[in-house]
Amino acid sequence: MKITVAGAGYVGLITSIGLAEMGQQVTCIDVQEEKIADLQQGKPSIYEPGLESLLQKNIRNGNLTFTVNPSQAYSGADIIFIAVGTPELPDGSADLKYIFVAAHTIAHHLNQDALICTKSTVPVGTNHLIHDIISGRIPPSIKIDVVSNPEFLREGAGLFDFFHGDRIVLGTDNPEAASIMEQLYLPLKIPIIKTDIKSAELIKYAANAFLAAKISFINEIANICEKVGANVDEVAYAIGQDKRIGSPFLQAGIGYGGSCFPKDTKALVQIAGNLEHPFELLEAVIKVNNRQHHLPVLKAKEIAGPLRGKKTAVLGLAFKPDTDDIREAASLTIIRELQLEGARIIAYDPAGVPNTRKIFGDSIKYTEDLKEALQDADLAIIATEWDQIKHAPLNIFTDYMKQPVIIDGRNCYSLSDIEKHGITYLSVGRPPVFASAAIQKPWKLFG
């Protein structure tokens, strides 16, 4: 079969590489000429461990090609995956303009029967609109079916999830279309769930909303822990042993970010609102998450007093490790608030510096060297739990900072290890650790 993937963003690129690695002949199309030119040379537009090597391997063996030419991409295609972006509109709903542009372009160039498979996250009813757009613009002799095939790819681990996911969802009203897609995915040996189209469309939103709820729940528990002197790590571990709850997504911190959770939770609230069903639980989840982003600077002001002129190292820029994606990252809120406080900021990240520079320009300093970030710093705020940060020897803080003061938004270190190194340490939902017994609330270290 000839497979075409529309969209060379995160989902489209992972899908293209994954299918090519399975031995399929894949063409990936995008309208951004510079991005496609780089991809043709084996240079990915996103960062993820192992992605570049698999990209180059499948270009060399001829399984994967990239183009901006829709005739080349869609003519003769048997399966067309739509993996274009659905960004957030001001009211929180999904912007479907790229979906509809892709549908019109496919219709203009399609010259044989094909399956249209939507991987983009779209509101309920969108796949039927895609079917109507395409079928209304192609000759009656050409037959299409539309399948909703939502993606469940974690940024930073998308390639792993493609090959080792928990489930594959296929939503379609045509059993024959479902069977074709099932045969495509069978070599992965991942459980396949077949549903109607509307259920498949809703599954991705529901999954992300539930995971976001778990994150906000444990963060609320963490806030209570701080007030009563409990340890959220112990609370989370104990409740996570309940099989009905489970331990994943019970790590307290400064909230979720990225391209999926923020956008999808707000979109689901909007979908419910359009049906005159207020989704009050999810609205609270979003409110809690937004509040968590502000915690590090609040804690920094508590421990250090006025931040004006103080060198502050922001450790981690990407919204999560192993990606360069900074969309909705907590680090952005932290940097903006530090700027308002007049702090001198140096930002560290192994992959996210170029994208962050596009936002803040030269108003802050950047580095990919952790030691440089900490050199003579008054404060260090951990915003992303990169391995380079989690596994750094703790003496790096005592050796390089003016005095070791860490605001840890991701609970990277054990309290017992911190206590051995004479570090003042404020984390999320756990008791504070002070370098000196003389330091007590209001925790002021500086004038």
Q: Where are the alpha helices (DSSP H) in 93-248?
A: 97-109, 126-135, 158-164, 175-185, 197-228, 232-240
For residue 443, count CB atoms less than 10 angstroms from its CB and return exposed for 0-12, middle for 13-18, buried for 19 or more.
middle
Whether 117 is catalytic is no
Buried b / exposed e along 83-114 (16+ C-beta atoms within 10 A): bbbbebeeebbbebebbeebbebbbebbeeeb
- Give the other-Cβ count within 10 Å of 337's Cβ: 18
Catalytic residue among 28, 117, 225, 260: 260
* Cβ-contact 111, 142 below 8 angstroms: yes
C-alpha distance from residue 224 to each of 42, 214, 227, 366 (Å):
49, 16, 5, 35
How far apart, in whole angstroms, are the C-alpha atoms of residue 220 and residue 192?
35
Residue given tokens 């360069």 in the structure block = 324
- Which amino acid does the sequence have at 443? W
What is the SS3 assignment for 379?
strand
- Which amino acid does the sequence have at 39? L
Active site residues: 260
